[in-house]
Structure 1
């Protein structure tokens, strides 16, 4: 009788390397390792050979970078999503794509189970499993870190390293980098280890070696650099006049942002599972794109449409952060967002300088800004009669006067 198949989200790190072997032994199943190439670069080197040597019967390393940029990052940036005012959702937005591809592989391979190495304390377990629930509710999800037998066998990293040595599994875990990282096309995150102390200063010069995608603002060039981003219907389609795919846009902006020390964030955030956690992020290209997009909107987006969309930013960001990318409410919001972006078209000029993204001009063929109306000089269009403001203010003040009168009568 053929063995059951499990598709494992595999990064090649300590946790998933151990989990691959543990799943094979515990479930007596065939393990298909899957790694999504979403911009980890050199971290992917040697993964296929390592997975096969550890016991995988088959390995998928799929280049999903283009899909990640066009179908996940760009729609999210159209929504101007920002979690708790700081986080550009770099890890969060990658999880639904990984879940989607895992389901596709499971279907193609006839697998009945999917497994991941996310811990029981983190957000990723929720994101993976909500994605699978939305796309393939019949597929069982295995989360070893939530299984008591796994935790009994591996109460700490020392036991995991010993297991790896016993089974000849090469791992790179060491005390020299006492923090965990997660990298993709949009960002890289750092957490745990010394970062669990919120008083620890990751921006100190002595900690500069931790960063991967950017130089410190102090070491960025002393000369500012100008960049022009061209937008069409809410998406950036060109940089400095050169047409680029969404993937090409992200690659170019990451290069520019990293060079100028842009996009570093240090924050304590609220996890969906209930605890606060401290994370440090580098999002160089995303920070430039976010700023440029908002500036393009300022010129081309109707005020009330913008107010409506902005009122939903917190909800949209929450949905992405908490793992509800495939939920009907996120899809409904995306439809509204797409409608709001129809005229977000034109060119934004920015100045990049020592960690800062500074607006330096914006223009559009569908601009809603009319200098004849906005001018402080005589209005040649006569579209606005300043005297009309008297009645406008009187009507808006009416309820305030009535309310004030009631309060005065109480005294």
Structure 2
């Protein structure tokens, strides 16, 4: 006997899982179902969503525009950190916490006694949603049907949808598991489940945010980005909000085959999974930001920040956005961005990002110091003392070993 609820708030995308969940929840719990969809840039996927949700049994649908908050409070902090999880730029990972946070707010407003999500029990999203829910509503019950229901495959879900006259935009032949927002589009399932199969990036209709590098133009596209304290503020000389910059970079990057990633990643739950990601604008933004940091961060800060980026990426991937450690790491990152101001020019060409120039009023690069020509600011003879001190532990160790070997009558090893 399932615990009964009066009102359930459902994280609703209109995709396969959540489409069948509305009638399934009503059948099994007899509760009022309130659907909530967070707009993080799904674009056309939101069309007709309200009509579909109401027709399949929801009492109402909230469509919350979270795009600005998503970019400013989740995307940009991750870009500034330079965080990537096994080359993956965290498109789904940092979208879940903001959606879950808004769902909790609506659940409290509506007086709901449970929140439901359609995440599979094999995936990462269940963790991301539920950790965010626990952070803001620790008393709230969570329903996760994929862990116990009878619709334990996407094929069974499709059959259930067809039986209940639930309209779907996919069928058994086009049944890739996808997640789309303004930052990326992910593809999983079907032939991608075997890493021996080549990703069908040239197959018509597979890619949605751009073209494959094979089909990109034969001439490069040149762009310039200006950053203020690590935040992109203008593109090609035009001041724009970070959201609009990302959207425009998606167009430019997509047209040039930028940002495709085919990777077998390590899921939080312990298994490996294969995904193909499209992140055209994000890939450009990461490359430009990293290029600017090359001339504005000192060695020790830059190297330590790389270690922080790895941990930051783990936290985001693992759904730990609302943890004290993530907030503390963001504070560190923000302190490193005080001088990350300047301009970066890049060329986009057939899937490649080619650096052209980088300038900053805070640049630590000195052509006078680095030149191979004659200069009057660097005394090369200083290197001798530096090397003597830097190599002193190695020299002392070698002299000690030589003495010990000779006492034992053993020939000191020669370099071979």
Report the TM-score, using the length of structure 1 for normalisation.
0.94
The answer to whether the 8 A contact 1:202-1:208 is kept is no
The answer to whether the 8 A contact 2:158-2:171 is kept is no
Partner of 1:271: 267
Structure 1 runs, 4 residues or longer, greater than 3 Å off: 155-159, 402-411
Counterpart-to-counterpart distance in 2, 1:48 and 1:274:
36
Q: How far apart are residue 402 of structure 1 and its match? A: 3.3
Distance 1:24 1:178, change over 3 A: closer
| 2:168 pairs with 1:164 | no
Partner of 1:58: 60
Match of 2:347 among 344, 351, 362: 351
Partner of 2:362: 366
- 1:26-65 matched pairs, under 5 angstroms: 26-65=28-67
Q: How far apart are residue 246 of structure 1 and its match? A: 1.2
Match of 1:334 among 319, 330, 333: 330
The answer to whether the 8 A contact 1:208-1:216 is kept is no
Counterpart-to-counterpart distance in 2, 1:104 and 1:33:
13
3-state SS of the aligned residue for 1:200? coil
| 2:229 pairs with 1:220 | no
Match of 1:385 among 379, 383, 393: 379
Partner of 2:97: 96
Distance 1:325 1:406, change over 3 A: farther
The answer to whether the 8 A contact 1:8-1:116 is kept is yes
Counterpart-to-counterpart distance in 1, 2:401 and 2:315:
41
Q: How far apart are residue 37 of structure 1 and its match? A: 1.1
Query: How many corresponding residue pairs?
Result: 402
Counterpart-to-counterpart distance in 2, 1:142 and 1:160:
17
3-state SS of the aligned residue for 1:23? helix
| 2:309 pairs with 1:313 | yes
Counterpart-to-counterpart distance in 1, 2:201 and 2:179:
21
Q: How far apart are residue 204 of structure 1 and its match? A: 5.8
Counterpart-to-counterpart distance in 1, 2:296 and 2:340:
6
Counterpart-to-counterpart distance in 1, 2:283 and 2:43:
20
Match of 2:230 among 206, 230, 234: 234
Match of 1:16 among 7, 18, 21: 18
The answer to whether the 8 A contact 2:5-2:113 is kept is no
Counterpart-to-counterpart distance in 1, 2:154 and 2:303:
49
Write out per-residue CA displacement over residues 126-161 of structure 1, whole angstroms, 9 at most, x where no aligned residue. 1111111122212121111112xx1xx324344333
Cα-Cα RMSD: 1.7
Match of 1:402 among 380, 393, 396: 396
- 1:93-172 matched pairs, under 5 angstroms: 93-147=94-148, 150=149, 153-172=150-169
Counterpart-to-counterpart distance in 2, 1:196 and 1:10:
25
Q: How far apart are residue 186 of structure 1 and its match? A: 0.7
3-state SS of the aligned residue for 1:352? strand
Write out per-residue CA displacement over residues 279-312 of structure 1, whole angstroms, 9 at most, x where no aligned residue. 0001000010000000111111122111111121
Q: How far apart are residue 274 of structure 1 and its match? A: 0.2
Q: How far apart are residue 216 of structure 1 and its match? A: 1.3
Q: Which is worse superposed, 323-332 or 306-315?
A: 306-315
Q: How far apart are residue 259 of structure 1 and its match? A: 0.8
Q: How far apart are residue 364 of structure 1 and its match? A: 1.0
Write out per-residue CA displacement over residues 162-189 of structure 1, whole angstroms, 9 at most, x where no aligned residue. 3323333222331331321111111100
Partner of 2:195: 198
Counterpart-to-counterpart distance in 2, 1:323 and 1:51:
27
Distance 1:378 1:6, change over 3 A: same
Q: How far apart are residue 233 of structure 1 and its match? A: 0.2
Partner of 1:78: 80
Partner of 1:289: 285
Report the TM-score, using the length of structure 2 for normalisation.
0.93
3-state SS of the aligned residue for 1:88? coil
Distance 1:155 1:89, change over 3 A: closer
The answer to whether the 8 A contact 1:95-1:128 is kept is yes
Counterpart-to-counterpart distance in 2, 1:238 and 1:155:
47
Unaligned 5+ residue runs, structure 2? 411-416
Counterpart-to-counterpart distance in 2, 1:230 and 1:88:
21
